[in-house]
């Protein structure tokens, strides 16, 4: 799936929770290999701070990865105090896609506009002004 998204140049966001610490890449071969794979697909972690904090250790096992430029998002860690896992907040600044809505227009020549105005001017508008406003509003 990541290969297909990378080939199609799609914006990608992955939320992952690992059993190994991604912050301890020097001591953990699995973490280094995993980060290399993610980088091969153009994905980088949005947060590099610890996402799990205990009395003995800070680790980064909860991650959000994306291939989007840092110009398009802002991410930060939220201390919840309810758990040893922190929350992660990420805001993406993405423009909405403007859909082409078909519109139908009719173009009139100056001659046709003049003829229309003359025809309107020749009409008797007495019946319009004689209509009871209440009846008009009830329609």
Interval 5-31: pLDDT, tens: 777 777 888 887 766 666 655 556 777
Per-residue model confidence (pLDDT) at position 79: 82
For the segment 101-122, the average pLDDT, to the nearest whole number, is: 89
In the chain, the number of structural domains is 1
Nearest Cα neighbor of 91 from 108, 104, 106, 78 is 78
On whether the pTM is more than 0.85, the answer is no
- The reply to whether 35 falls in a domain is yes
**Cα separations in angstroms, 38 against 55, 88, 114, 120:** 30, 19, 68, 71
CA distance 139 to 75: 56
Mean pLDDT, the chain, integer: 80
CATH number at residue 61: 3.60.10.10
Q: Who has greater pLDDT, 96 or 41?
A: 41
Counting Cα atoms < 13 Å in the Cβ hemisphere of 13 gives: 11
For the segment 65-73, the average pLDDT, to the nearest whole number, is: 88
Q: Which domain holds residue 52?
A: 2-92
70 phi and psi, to 5 degrees? -65, -10
CA distance 60 to 50: 5
Percent of the chain with pLDDT over 90: 6
């Amino acid at each position: 799936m990541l290969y297909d998204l990378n080939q199609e140049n799609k914006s990608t966001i992955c939320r992952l929770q690992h059993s190994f610490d991604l912050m301890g890449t020097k001591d953990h071969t699995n973490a280094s290999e995993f980060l290399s794979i993610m980088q091969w697909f153009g994905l980088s972690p949005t947060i590099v701070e610890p996402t799990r904090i205990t009395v003995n250790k800070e680790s980064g096992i909860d991650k959000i990865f994306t291939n989007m430029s840092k110009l398009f998002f802002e991410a930060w860690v939220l201390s919840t105090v309810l758990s040893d896992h922190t929350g992660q907040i990420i805001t993406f600044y993405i423009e909405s896609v403007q859909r082409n809505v078909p519109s139908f227009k009719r173009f009139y020549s100056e001659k046709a506009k003049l003829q229309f105005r003359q025809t309107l001017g020749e009409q008797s508008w007495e019946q319009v002004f004689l209509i009871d406003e209440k009846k008009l509003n009830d329609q």
